[in-house]
Structure 1
Amino acid sequence: MKIPHLLLIPYPILGHVNPFMQFSHVLAKHGCHVTFLSTEFNLKRILNNNSFTCSSSENINLVSLPDGLDPEDDRSDFRKLLSSIKSTMPALLPNLIQDINKIDCIIVSINMGWALEIGRRMGIKAALLWPSSATVLAFCDSINRLIHYGIIDSQSGNITSAFNFLYSSLSSNNSLQILYNFTLSRLALGKTFDHLVQEMQTLKLAQWWLCNTMYELEPQTFSISPSTFSPIGPLMLLASDQNPNPIPNSFWEEDSTCLQWLDQHPPQSVIYVSFGSIAVLKPKQFTELAHALHHLLDRPFLWVVRPSNNNNNVTYPQNEFEFKGSSSKGKIVGWAPQQKVLNHPSIACFVSHCGWNSTIEGLCGGVPFLCWPFFSDQWVNKMLVCDLWKVGMGFEKEDDEEVISREEIKKKVEIVVGSEEIKSRSLKMKQLVLENMRGDGGHSSRNLDNFIHWAQE
């Protein structure tokens, strides 16, 4: 049987690059040849990061195309980046594919569906690797039907009536409100909504919709989703099942000194705070969190404050604690080896933005969550964490400025850390994931084998 050659094309943000790099290693370990397409801007960042292992396997080849932006342009501007990619990369991709010679399948993330259209013209198979939960994919896949039935206004994206009939099996009291917020406030806005509607249609060119999750995490969603939905995760475990060290996937170098610092603290004592690669706290919110961690909570903390925060008008509070280096009370790092941190016995809870990668890593670490979503799918992931799996809690905003107060942070940390029920459920979720990854790997392993066999045909 021939060895398939797969071209992976993630949207160039860390939340998409991570699972795609993990998937590259999974495919390579199964004997596939993998070409990983990055933007030139990101490839430079990857190669400059000593802790980012991209091509430990000779079966993985890194290539790049320009995204059309200048180095100093703001790539956190979604519309600007997406528009530039769509006006630049499609004209260059066919030549790249021809230079590679033989590609059997193109695998894309959302926002890169244009590559599937090119693949169709060139007679290449197509697949989608969805970077978030299957629940979010099921909702996005339903948008055109919701428009057809008048539940969503196609002009504004506003929801005009309830659609809990689509998600009644989630058994969540506030799932409708969460999905409403997800659609109305953070997704279905103007051109972003138009893009999503068109993108979901384009992604139907993919014969497989691969999900970085497992059936046991979202059984209600898979029970109502199309047969094309195929859980193949968690990819972080599949990628490292023959490697004791997690694959570092970051645009910033990880500060491993935090692991030695964690070694100095007793079990379940440290609050871990990280908001991912994009979200930025406003100065007032930053101050409230700093005061809660340093003054109000009688616990040590490890806080990830990305280097890029300095470029987003964040003013650090003065004389609160040392923001660089460590002390007995707290340690600040620019980026952490998160998988190792969340599996460290000293971690008591995870204050998280609820990005899907972080959510999966927290589940695999068996740690309770304190959910602090900022945008997009993070609100749905919070619903899964708090209402479906019941392994965490959210925060309440108490003023007109949408700020979570230091008192609220203190209260919720103490509740979660002190809850034996949440701790017990967190450990049970960890065991659920790990047990289903043993042996034949259950649904995920079978789906992966079937996908690779299909790509070989």
Structure 2
Amino acid sequence: MEQTQPRVPHVVLLPFPSLGHIKPMLSLAELLSHASFQVTFLNPQQIHDRLLLSMDMPAFHRRHPEFEFLSMPDPVRPSRDRPPPGLFSLHDKILSLGSVIKPALGELLISFNQEKGRRQPATCIIADGLLSSPVIDVSEQFEIPFFPLRTLSACCIWAYFNLPKLVEEGDVPFQVADEDMDKLVTCIPGLENVVRRRDLPGIFRIKRANDPALESFINDQTLVLPRASGLILNTFDELEAPVIAKLGSHFTKVYTVGPLHGLSTVRINDLIPLASGENILWKEDTSCMTWLDSQLSNSVIFVSFGSVIILTRDQMFELWHGLVNCGKPFLWVIREDSVIGEDGPSLILGKLKDMTGDKGLLVSWAPQEQVLTHPAIGGFLTHSGWNSTLESIFAGVPMICWPAIGDQQMNSRFVSDVWKIGFDMKDSCDRSLIEKLVRDLMEDKREEIMKSVNEIKKLAHEAVKEGGSSFCNLDKLIDDIRLRSHLAHNNSEGKK
């Protein structure tokens, strides 16, 4: 009997349309492409267009010839002024995305099944965990495995799974103004003596536990996850082992493959992957690298609050005064859309630049991975987004954490009190505290904190090198996808 050629695995990936979610998904997509998979990367039209403009597509396709970027319609969002980032705006965005994902993904899968060209039928779908509800419905309809990628810490996901217990114990709901924010939360297994009320995920800071947006978020983005074929996490075993083990009881398989940016660099011919930089959606100001070259080793505090956080005029000036008063040169990333106030963003930014002079450098965006590995960087004042946290860990840079939303509150607690690689100043924006923490980080407590930083950096690098936990877990994911592709091929041949 004539042997048919095995089917090439074809993975369809759908990131949540935000930089912090697209970046790790794109790194994972590159790794799968490097494993000789066909890859389809699906985005709403606006994000798709920005990716095509910001990336060197000819160079990308020379390295990844079986990688295709496709678009789906942009979701229709409510016509109102941009709300501050938080649960309600996230809820609106997820709902609007769900309305276009189901038909667009379904049509795409049908087209792959009918196509007679080089594109194989889809082997599996990897989508951001925030899109789990609409994607898992489509995957079950087409009998295609679904693997959610959660782009946040395992400890935060575990807190989401324990929301019913938190409500039962009266820890949720709560509000900052009228509750004991330092009360220890004792009902999350494995985290009994770690998490305070103020460290719980930002979406729990609500007025009532039966809030429709919160219920939808937990049901559609968390409790639905065990229906998937496995869970992919951008973390590594040695960093969050106890919590990862707890999550493992809810899933058939858990693939810890982080830090994805480090794993990409190691596995793709020891080169910097083309999609790893921050430049995929934002234009970088690379002049900051030249400025860093002129600074002393470990002398600069790097300040960046990511691609979403919005600051008030008062917060901006408290941060600025704290940085100036500490006497350390600073590199501060301030997006043009990150400032609100009666003066207007341009006037506020202009005044800050005039006041800064030679005390530091303000830029609109920076190549963060490169900045963190520069010898001049001695510390990182961060919003504690998970990408930034992992990048800082991998670079061996201690952190001062000023979290705002989502998983950032949990991340900052683990940075300061579990891993002991930084300080946490959540729910405060006071110039004297900022000055003190920068001095502690850069001078007074540096020797002590760098011991932990260097130990965890070593663990992160060992995880992604050949034989390391994340390296091997990616191989398991690749092998499992290949096996599913092989089984699907045999089933289709058997029906002929």
Q: Same fold judged by TM-score > 0.5?
A: yes
Instruction: Please identify which structure carries the higher helix content.
Output: 2
Deviates more, 1:56-65 or 1:354-363: 56-65
- Which residue type is aligned with residue 316 of structure 1? I
- Between the aligned partners of 1:206 and 1:248, the Cα distance in structure 2 is 30
Match of 2:379 in 1: 349
Indicate the residue corresponding to 1:87 in structure 2. 99
* Number of the residue aligned with 1:127: 147
Whole-Å separation in 2 of the counterparts to 1:422 and 1:112: 38
Match of 1:400 in 2: none
**Which of 109, 112, 130 in structure 2 is aligned with 1:111?**
130
Amino acid at match of 1:191: P
Equivalent residue number for residue 431 of structure 1 = 458
Q: Deviation per CA, 1:290-349: give whole Å up to 9, x if none.
A: 22223x1211110001132367754516655448xx964211111111011001110011
Structure 1 stretch 75-84 or stretch 364-373: which is displaced more? Answer: 75-84
Partner of 1:316: 348
- What letter corresponds to residue 193 of structure 1 in structure 2? L
CA contact under 8 A between 2:136 and 2:228: conserved in structure 1?
yes
String of CA shifts for 1:201-233, please: whole Å, max 9, x gaps: 332221111110000001221232325332111
Query: 1:447 and 1:262, CA in 2 relative to 1: closer, same or farther beyond 3 A?
Result: same
Q: Which residue of 2 aligns with 1:191?
A: 212
- The 3 A distance-change label for structure 1 pair 291 and 284 is same
1:63 is aligned, of 34, 45, 70, to: 70
- Bigger mean CA deviation after superposition, 329-338 or 364-373: 329-338
Q: CA deviation at 1:61?
A: 1.0
Displacement after TM superposition at 1:427 (Å): 1.7
1:298 matches 2:331: no
Aligned with residue 205 of structure 1, among 219, 227, 245: 227
- Once the 2 structures are TM-superposed, how far is the Cα of residue 163 of structure 1 from its aligned partner? 5.6
Which whole-Å deviations, capped at 9, do the CAs of 1:50-70 have from their partners, x for residues lacking one? Answer: 579865512221111123237
Deviates more, 1:268-277 or 1:28-37: 28-37
Are 2:468 and 1:441 equivalent residues in the alignment? yes
Of 17, 21, 30, 1:16 maps to: 21
Task: Look up the SS of the partner of 1:127 in the other structure.
Answer: strand
Question: Residue 118 of structure 2 corresponds to which residue in structure 1?
Answer: none
Deviation at 1:153, TM superposition (A): 9.3
Find the counterpart in structure 2 of residue 136 from structure 1: 156
1:356-395 matches, within 5 Å, as: 356-395=386-425
- The count of residues paired between Structure 1 and Structure 2 equals 443
Unmatched 5+ stretches in structure 2: 1-5, 114-120, 484-496
The separation in 1 between residues aligned to 2:426 and 2:259, in whole angstroms, is: 30
> For 1:225, which of 247, 254, 270 is the aligned residue?
247
**SS of 1:164's equivalent?**
coil
2:263 matched to 1:238? yes
| Residue-by-residue CA offset, 1:398-430 (whole Å, 9 max, x unaligned) | xxxxx5121111111101111211122112211
Deviates more, 1:48-57 or 1:420-429: 48-57
Asked whether the 8 Å contact 1:144–1:197 carries over to 2, the reply is no
Query: Percent of aligned positions with the same letter in both sequences?
Result: 28
Cα offset for 1:140?
A: 1.8
State the secondary structure of the residue aligned to 1:128. strand
Q: Secondary structure at the match of 2:129?
A: coil
CA gap 1:385/1:347 in 2 versus in 1, 3 angstroms: same
Provide the aligned C-alpha RMSD in A. Answer: 3.0
Residue 31 in structure 1 maps to residue 36 in structure 2 = yes
Question: Does the C-alpha gap of structure 1 residues 21 and 186 become closer, same or farther in structure 2, counting only changes over 3 Å?
Answer: farther
Shift of 1:105: 0.5
- Unmatched tracts of structure 1, length 5 or more: 398-402
- Give the whole-Å Cα distance in 2 for the aligned partners of 1:286 and 1:51: 35
In structure 1, distance between residues paired with 2:270 and 2:421:
28
- Counterpart of 2:441 in structure 1 is 416
Does the CA-based 8 Å contact 2:146-2:228 persist in structure 1?
yes
What code does the residue aligned with 2:383 have? H
Q: Check conservation: 2:233, 2:256, Cα contact below 8 A.
A: yes
In structure 1, the residue corresponding to 2:24 is in which secondary structure?
A: helix
What is residue 309 of structure 2 aligned with on the other side?
279
For residue 19 of structure 1, report the CA deviation from its aligned partner. 0.8
Residues 1:162 and 1:393: Cα distance change in structure 2 (over 3 Å): closer
- Structure 1 residues 224 and 70: CA distance shift in structure 2, 3 A: closer
Could you state the TM-score of these two structures normalised by the residue count of structure 2? Answer: 0.82
Q: Is the 8 A contact 1:69 1:84 kept in 2?
A: yes
- Between the aligned partners of 1:189 and 1:259, the Cα distance in structure 2 is 49
Residues 1:168 and 1:208: Cα distance change in structure 2 (over 3 Å): closer
Task: Note if contact 1:51-1:253 (Cα within 8 Å) is conserved in structure 2.
Answer: no
Show CA shifts across 1:379-400 (max 9, x none): 0000110011001012265xxx
Q: Kindly tell me: are residues 144 and 230 of structure 1, through their superposed partners in 2, closer, same or farther at Cα, counting changes over 3 Å?
A: farther
AA at the equivalent of 1:107:
I
After superposition, the Cα gap between the structure-2 partners of 1:51 and 1:340, relative to the gap in structure 1 and judged at 3 Å, is farther
